[in-house]
Structures are given as structure tokens and as C-alpha cells.
Amino acid sequence: MESISIGLLGLGTVGAGVVKIIENHQDKLAHQIGCPVKVKKALVQDLEKDRGLAIEDGILTLDPEDVLADPEIDIVVEVMGGIEATKEHLLEALKNKKHVVTANKDLMAVHGPELLKAASANECDLFYEASVAGGIPILRGLVDGLASDRITKMMGIVNGTTNFILTKMTKEGRTFDDVLKEAQDLGFAEADPTADVGGLDAARKMAIMSTLGFSMNVDLSDVKVKGITDVTAEDIEYAGQFGYTMKLIGYAHRDGEKVEVSVEPALLPNEHPLSSVNDEYNAVYVYGEAVGETMFYGPGAGSLPTATAVVSDMVCTMKNMRLGVTGKSAVNPQFEKKLKEREEISSQYFLRLHVQDEIGVLAKLTSIFSNHGVSFEKILQNPLNGAGYSEIVLVTHKASLDHYEDILMELKDYHAIHSIESSYRVEGGEKG
């Protein structure tokens, strides 16, 4: 091969980083793959936009066919975002025997299996390392680095926006709305942060990681999702008093053949390695039966960090092209998907209640929990001055989800409970 030609779909934040890395690391890339790499075309929406890059005439185009149908383009790099129209572009690229690298978790979480099947059928590579945790090589870590092991647990802080917000709320005692505004002003949070703060962005990443880590097709709809919009400064304060840190945790756990995957704000013991992952950083804690605890840490977004993952996928594809083994990397899942039932999901729980300050309330509360075989690990009661209520905050010992939900129902029916203010899982107390 004299050179390898890349076609970019999109030249925004990540695309610009890809162009810079190809230019600035050309010597290293050429050494690894044996020939130079060049960007031949880039699809954009606005030809006049200032991209802060020196772009040769004729590279930018408004016509997707200039990328998808150009016979000289070997690899299509999709960094434009979007789901349905983008899927059609990638299916066309694969049909035209072009390898694909994408950073698009929205797309891969929904249409990953179909695209991977099309890639195999066309003997093309399709890599998507940048779609989860930006610059952290977590997908390759799961698929190659831990290929020999059986993974039982993955816990991820895989959304930088929410980690930034929770970190500021924890360290500065500020409210969710206040910190979200700062995150938007700083350019961390998107103009529409719904997918981030609502947990959907993290859920997409957990669906992708669980599919690879557990070798079964975990769909986005299999992931139970709750965001951080209801997390209050009071919850974080009480969590701190009990020795916990609040994080938006992507939790994927395997028990035998069955798995559960969720994204929700959860409390972690302060000494858990994920508790010290702060600001916009991402990290994924992985427990393997043989290796034990591992943790992958780094920037989960940003132009150059994300572009390193994209360009590394390109290098992998180019090496495969040279060896003549493209289209062989996607391995069909080994296992049929089996999700845990409610009674098979267990956790400790943090609960904050407002109760009437009257005789027998604590005894009744204890009996509701003990009737379901659940006991308290920690409990405290504070008067709420002037309200006629007390605040009770407790952490249970491990309980199954069905028992815990039954308890919540009974608490709602008990006249002395004024409100259930908040409830969170407490995770990370056990390793595997």
C-alpha cells in the first residue's frame, strides 16, 4: 500500500482532533502501518465555518457520496453523530467495502449488532473505541486485555458532565441547578444536557460495555436508568456523614448466567477507587474472576483525548488491512442474554424519610423492615425544627430489590410517614 486514505463524516470537535493527530503523529503512524495516512474528504454542513485547521481545497464536501462512494477511500471515520441517517451512511460505506471507525455511542447502543453483522458480511472492520469513555481504551481493555478472564462486575463513571456536577455539589455544597449552569458556561455540558443528566448517555455506554464484557447482546432497553436531577445537597451531606460519596454509577453485574445493568446515582464507600474520580474525569472499575480488581481512568471526552481512541482504531484497521484479516474482529456473543429477576438483584440501600415525631414510629419502621428480613446497618434521626417532623436517614444491610420495593410500598401507606425524600443504592462494599 502506498498510502491509506481516510474519509471523515463530520469535522467538528472530534473530527478536528483526528485531523490534528494524523498530522502531528504522522511519523509514528507511518512506522506502525508501513505507509502514510491522509484525509481525502470530510463531510460537513457548512463549508465556510472556521475550524481552526489548515484544510486543503477540495477536502470539505456537503455530499455524503463524496466519502461513501469514493473508491480511493479505505476507511470511513464517522464523527458526525446522529442515529438513523448515520446508520444508513455506514451501511452504505460497508457495502462499498470501506472499513468504519465511529465515536457514536448513540448509534452503537441501538444499532451496533446490525452494523457489526454488515461489517463481517462485507469483510470489513468496524471499531468504536471512542464511543465509551472517550480517551480511555476500555473496550479494547475488555475485549483484548481481559480476553482470558471472566468478568463479573463493571462499575463505570462514564459521563463527565454528571461527574463534574456531583463533584462540585459534594465539594462546594452547591445545588444541582447552580452547578449545571456553570458546567454549561464552561462548555462541559451540552446546550441540551437531558441525555447526560437523565442518565441516557451513560446507559448507552453501559449497554455497549456489558455486551462486550459479558459477551451477550445487552440492549439499551435492558438498562434500568435514573439520572441525577433529583439529587439534593442534603442527600450528599448525609451520605458524607455515613462515609459515602455520591456518583452516577453505571453498574453491570453477572451472577452465574444472569446479568443486571443499571445507571443510577449511588453511594460508594469513600475508600472505593471510584469515589476519588472527580470533576469531568471518567473511570471504569472492572472485576475479573482471575485478575481481581482493575480500574481504567482518564478523560471521557474532549477533542484530542477522544481522537486518540478514533485514530488507534484506525491503526488497528490498517494493521488488519496489511495482514489481510479485516472483518474478523467482531466475535458473536458467546451467551444468550439472561437478565436477573427483581428477587435476584440485591444491594444495600440509603433511605431518607420525613416522619411525624410521635411515639412508636421508629418501632413501626423497624418492624416493616424486619418483616421483610431487612435490617439497618446505620440510622440517624434529626428533628426538623418548626415542621413537626423528624428526618430519619438509614442505610440497610443487603436486601433483595423485591423486598426493598415492598418495604417502600408499605412505608408509603403508613400514616406517620410524611414523605420519602430520597432512596439510593449503596454499592461497592464488595469486590466481585
Q: Which three cell numbers stand for residue 403?
A: 423486598
d(CA 189, CA 162): 9
Compose the 273-312 pattern: x for residues touching ligand NAP by CB under 6 A, - for all others. Answer: ----------------------------xx---x------
Query: Could you please report the per-residue DSSP string of 326-366?
Result: TT---PPPSS---BPPGGG-EEEEEEEEEEE--TTHHHHHH
Binding ligand HSE (rule: CB under 6 A), the pick from 42, 119, 248, 301 is 301
d(CA 105, CA 160): 14
Is 257 part of any known ligand binding site? no
Q: What is the DSSP letter of 130?
A: G
User: Which residues, other chains included, contact 117 with Cβ-Cβ below 8 Å and sequence gap of 6+?
Assistant: 330
Is 386 part of any known ligand binding site? no
Q: How far is CA 31 from CA 25, 26, 70, 287, 305, in A?
A: 10, 8, 26, 35, 21
Taking CB under 6 A as the rule, does residue 6 contact ligand NAP? no
Provide, rounded to whole angstroms, the least separation between the CB of residue 226 and ligand NAP: 21
Binding positions for ligand NAP, 59-88, rule CB under 6 A: 79-82
Beta strands in 158-313 (DSSP E): 224-225, 244-255, 258-269, 281-288, 292-299
205 is catalytic: yes
Is 197 part of any known ligand binding site? no
Name the closest residue to ligand NAP (Cβ): 12
Taking CB under 6 A as the rule, does residue 126 contact ligand NAP? no
Provide, rounded to whole angstroms, the least separation between the CB of residue 154 and ligand HSE: 17
Is 10 part of any known ligand binding site? yes
d(CA 40, CA 266): 46
d(CA 180, CA 347): 29
Tell the residue number behind the cell numbers 475485549, with chain if given.
Answer: 143
Of 41, 98, 205, 247, which one is the catalytic site residue? 205
Binding ligand NAP (rule: CB under 6 A), the pick from 14, 33, 157, 274 is 14
Torsion region of 292: left, alpha or beta (phi above 0 gives left; psi -120 to 50 gives alpha): left
The one of ligand NAP, ligand HSE, none whose footprint includes residue 196, by CB under 5 to 8 A per kind, is: ligand HSE
Is 130 part of any known ligand binding site? no
Compose the 131-170 pattern: x for residues touching ligand HSE by CB under 6 A, - for all others. Answer: ---x------------------------xxx---------
Give the binding site for ligand NAP (CB under 6 A). Answer: 10-15, 43-46, 49, 79-82, 103-105, 130, 134, 301-302, 306
> Which residues are part of a known binding site for L-homoserine?
190
Catalytic residues: 205
Give the binding site for ligand HSE (CB under 6 A). Answer: 134, 159-161, 196, 201, 300-301
